[in-house]
């Protein structure tokens, strides 16, 4: 089984290799990585004193859900067969256990729940949200931004331990790039937050230019079909996303990463020897890694070298037509607000209460929901969703 690894910009011996774009939510589906055909890794200089003449390390960014034969690997989310996930006569399991067991809750799950819990419930029980033209354009823009700092080459993965090791390696290399060059993009995070394993991908991280301020700023770029700034509920949703990233980042910097629970939750063997390809590339980079446990230790050590994220977070809005900047929303991290949001979200995912409908004043969201015709909250069953909003 093969994936892909990006080359150093200084090394022209290997051409760029196209990758399959996946969503942030799909990044959480780590079990599907067993059938991955492509993985990507950005190449940068290492700031760590592992080896005086170490070559540039490479990191992964995305995992495809396609096998080498091209067959799409389906999991319970893809099938939409809710009945098959439950035993007759027994109470249904919480959504978290049904759909995110051994995968972790993604930040996209959190923001999707805040947008509309009922829509999230429909997505889980009836199938994923359809990808429209605007969403594809947004994904393409993020890929273009990522390609400004990375290139792709192939790498081999043979087990789920390899897949997780590559995700961890991707963060390690992104951290190297941040420390050396002051900028990195599409950085994956894996952390333990509010008693739940969470995963996410940060669009961009910038290291401040001043010597007195060394706290990296987290940035998220949103693309818009219309040349206007979004409504407040959309901006609120974007703020929640960035605050989740900062919360995860700061927890990891504080070494809140229970390794044993990580291995147990995702059913991973810490002593599993990683693929020869992975071991060769890490050895060439100056820090030989043999097992998944070695990679986890390196992941934690890397975070120990990093400061907490900046309290100021930045949302950028671009016009899809020409990538021009429509505006920026810089705001302060609010710990109390975030914890309240996370607690409410987890109540839904853990089955402590039924899904809430979007509030009356925000029912305009229903015009863009593919489940509007079957949603009890919709007073107009003939409503045709408009999928052009972004």
Residue 173 lies in a domain: yes
The pLDDT assigned to 30 comes to: 34
> Does 230 or 56 have the greater pLDDT score?
230
Kindly report, residue by residue over 296-355, the tens digit of the pLDDT: 999 999 999 999 999 999 999 999 999 999 999 999 999 999 999 999 999 999 999 999
Closest CA relative to residue 280, chosen from 147, 176, 189, 153:
153
Phi (first) and psi of residue 217, to 5 degrees? -95, 130
Residue 52 lies in a domain: yes
Kindly report, residue by residue over 106-150, the tens digit of the pLDDT: 999 999 999 999 999 999 999 766 666 666 676 776 677 666 776
Kindly report, residue by residue over 349-375, the tens digit of the pLDDT: 999 999 999 999 999 999 989 999 999
Torsion angle of C-alpha atoms 308, 310, 313, 314, degrees rounded to 10: -110
Number of structural domains found in the chain: 1
Closest CA relative to residue 48, chosen from 167, 190, 175, 171:
175
Residue 346 lies in a domain: yes
Residue 272 Cα distances to 53, 161, 244, 278, 386, angstroms: 28, 7, 31, 13, 48
Residue 352 lies in a domain: yes
Q: Which two tokens stand for residue 10?
A: 């200084």
Residue 87 lies in a domain: no
The pLDDT assigned to 381 comes to: 54
What is the Cα–Cα distance from 10 to 230, expressed in whole angstroms?
Answer: 40
What is the Cα–Cα distance from 283 to 60, expressed in whole angstroms?
Answer: 16
Alpha helices, H only, the chain = 24-27, 76-79, 95-99, 107-115, 117-126, 133-147, 160-181, 232-253, 259-265, 276-284, 292-304, 335-349
Residue 386 lies in a domain: no
Residue 317 lies in a domain: yes
Domain hosting residue 346, numbered range: 2-80+92-374
For residue 12, pLDDT beyond 50: no
Residue 387 lies in a domain: no
DSSP letter (8 states) at residue 12: -
Q: What sign does the dihedral 242-246-249-252 (CA atoms) show?
A: negative
Out of 61-65, 229-233, 273-277, 315-319, which region has the weakest mean confidence (pLDDT)? 61-65
Q: Which two tokens stand for residue 120?
A: 């999230």
> Does 68 or 345 have the greater pLDDT score?
345
Out of 59-63, 219-223, 226-230, 244-248, which region has the weakest mean confidence (pLDDT)? 59-63
> Does 214 or 9 have the greater pLDDT score?
214
Q: What is the mean pLDDT of residues 23-46?
A: 38
Residue 89 backbone zone (phi > 0: left; psi -120 to 50: alpha; other: beta): left
């Amino acid at each position: 089984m093969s994936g892909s690894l990006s080359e150093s910009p200084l090394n022209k011996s290997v051409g760029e290799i196209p990758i399959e774009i996946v969503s942030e939510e799909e990044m959480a589906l780590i079990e599907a990585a067993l059938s991955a055909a492509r993985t990507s890794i950005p190449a940068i200089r290492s700031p760590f004193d592992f080896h005086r003449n170490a070559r540039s390390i490479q990191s992964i960014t995305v995992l495809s859900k396609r096998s080498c034969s091209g067959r799409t690997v389906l999991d319970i989310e893809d099938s939409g067969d809710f009945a098959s996930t439950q035993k007759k006569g027994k109470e249904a399991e919480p959504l978290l256990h049904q759909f995110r067991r051994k995968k972790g809750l993604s930040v996209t799950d959190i923001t999707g729940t805040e947008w509309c819990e009922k829509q999230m419930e429909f997505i889980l029980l009836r199938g994923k949200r359809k990808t429209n033209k605007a969403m594809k354009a947004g994904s393409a823009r993020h890929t273009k931004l990522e390609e400004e700092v990375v290139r792709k080459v192939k790498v081999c993965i043979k087990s789920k331990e390899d897949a997780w090791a590559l995700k961890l390696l991707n963060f390690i290399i992104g951290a190297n790039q941040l420390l050396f060059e002051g900028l990195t993009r599409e950085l994956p995070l894996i952390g333990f937050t509010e008693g739940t394993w969470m995963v996410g991908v940060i669009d961009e991280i910038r290291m401040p230019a001043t010597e007195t301020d060394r706290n990296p700023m987290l940035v998220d770029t949103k693309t818009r079909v219309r040349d206007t700034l979004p409504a407040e509920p959309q901006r609120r949703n974007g703020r929640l996303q960035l605050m989740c990233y900062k919360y995860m980042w700061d927890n990891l910097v504080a070494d809140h990463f229970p390794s044993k629970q990580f291995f147990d939750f995702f059913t991973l063997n810490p002593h599993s020897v990683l693929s020869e390809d992975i071991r060769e590339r890490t050895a060439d980079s100056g820090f030989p890694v043999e097992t998944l446990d070695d990679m986890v230790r390196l992941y934690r050590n890397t975070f120990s070298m990093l400061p907490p994220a900046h309290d100021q977070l930045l949302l950028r809005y671009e016009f899809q037509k020409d990538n021009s900047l429509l505006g920026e929303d810089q705001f302060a991290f609010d710990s109390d607000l975030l914890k309240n949001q996370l607690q409410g979200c987890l109540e839904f995912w853990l089955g402590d209460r039924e899904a809430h409908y979007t509030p009356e004043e925000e029912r305009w969201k229903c015009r863009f929901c593919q489940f509007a015709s079957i949603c009890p909250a919709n007073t107009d069953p003939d409503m045709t969703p408009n999928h052009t909003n972004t």
